[in-house]
Amino acid sequence: MVKLRKFRGYLAQKENIEKIISPPYDVCSIKEAREETGDNDMYYYHVNKPAIDLPDDCTMEDVANKGRENLEAFIEKGYLVRDDEERIYIYSQQLGDHLQFGVMALASIDDYDTGKIKKHEHTLPEVELERTNLCDTQCANAGPVFYSFREQEEIVQKISNISQQDHYAQVTTKDGVIHTLWKCSQEDSDWIVESFKDVDSLYIADGHHRSAAAYNVGKRRRERELAAGHEVTGEESFNFFMTVILPANQTKILPYNRLLNTLNDMTEEEFLEKIKKNFDVEEMKGDDHSAKEAGHISMYLGETWYDMQLKPELFRDEVSLNLDYTVLTDFLFKEIMGIENIKKDGRVEFVGGGRGIEYLVKR
């Protein structure tokens, strides 16, 4: 049983929605975000990446306070308009031929705590703390977490029916993604909340740091209330956080690329030979350089694309240890590069797949 709740969202002002909508906070650096934002005071990066408005030596507290200030300014200026009642929303993204619909609702920190919300990554402590402080100080979820669920026919059909109705807004962003939002009626909202009680689990598709931050904020605020002698029922707003929940068969997971900034004084030829000890490596032909399927990893080295696959004898009994990112971490970054903590070592950068292969080649 998954617990969802309706909420009274703040929606982008329709007349300026194209000026307001921005990418998620974690797809580019602060420098790149500043350049992209330019002089657009409506751009949502001011709210969900407020460090763009501060000097580089700002503190975590500075970022959180600026985030609250910017959010309050967006509301005061009418860039964000509060809905007239609590409800569920339906949100879709379309890129090319792929179209996915999700239920936009509040999920429960209790479900996160008890494991009904399934995780598959560790978080970076510094990033988790920064998101926690921002969320707590803003008193808001500046962006949703993306979850998936094992689709149930009736829920999928309900989503489809709602998506045939008039939408609240639709906008196409610079990356070619068409974003559409529908406001559910009270009847449909209540039906969705009730129907998700038959869903056993949710799975984090994107947003481990945001999920952890929302959970941390909920815990903090529970502790404050209890310390003040107040009763906590579990239905307070801090017990829930904003999510988009997509049927698993519609969910498209973009790559999350690793950019290696050094070869540890090895030549490209030496590096490739070391890789071949653990991986079957084949030069890729043609224009499609995406990974062929699960178990295959694409690598760009010396202006050439390679397909890599772990040698069969190195596969391990535990399934999770054979996931692509674990294989890459253990058999390349740790063993060949001596990188023990990929998330803290400056030799590795993470680049979201939404930026495209061209961006990786350029870097």
User: Is the per-residue pLDDT at 187 higher than 70?
Assistant: yes
Torsion of CA 78, 79, 82, 88, to 10 degrees: 160
What's the pLDDT at 87?
A: 98
More confident residue, 53 or 32: 53
User: Is the per-residue pLDDT at 79 higher than 80?
Assistant: yes
Would you tell me how many other CB atoms lie within 10 Å of the CB of residue 326? 14
What's the pLDDT at 344?
A: 73
Distance CA 38, CA 239 (A): 36
Mean model confidence pLDDT for the chain: 92
Stretch among 74-83, 180-189, 317-326 having the lowest mean pLDDT: 317-326
What's the pLDDT at 252?
A: 75
pLDDT tens digit sequence for 87-112 = 999 999 999 899 999 999 999 999 99
Burial of 131 (0-12, 13-18, 19+ CB in 10 A): buried
pLDDT tens digit sequence for 143-152 = 999 999 998 8
Give the pLDDT band (50/70/90) at residue 356: low
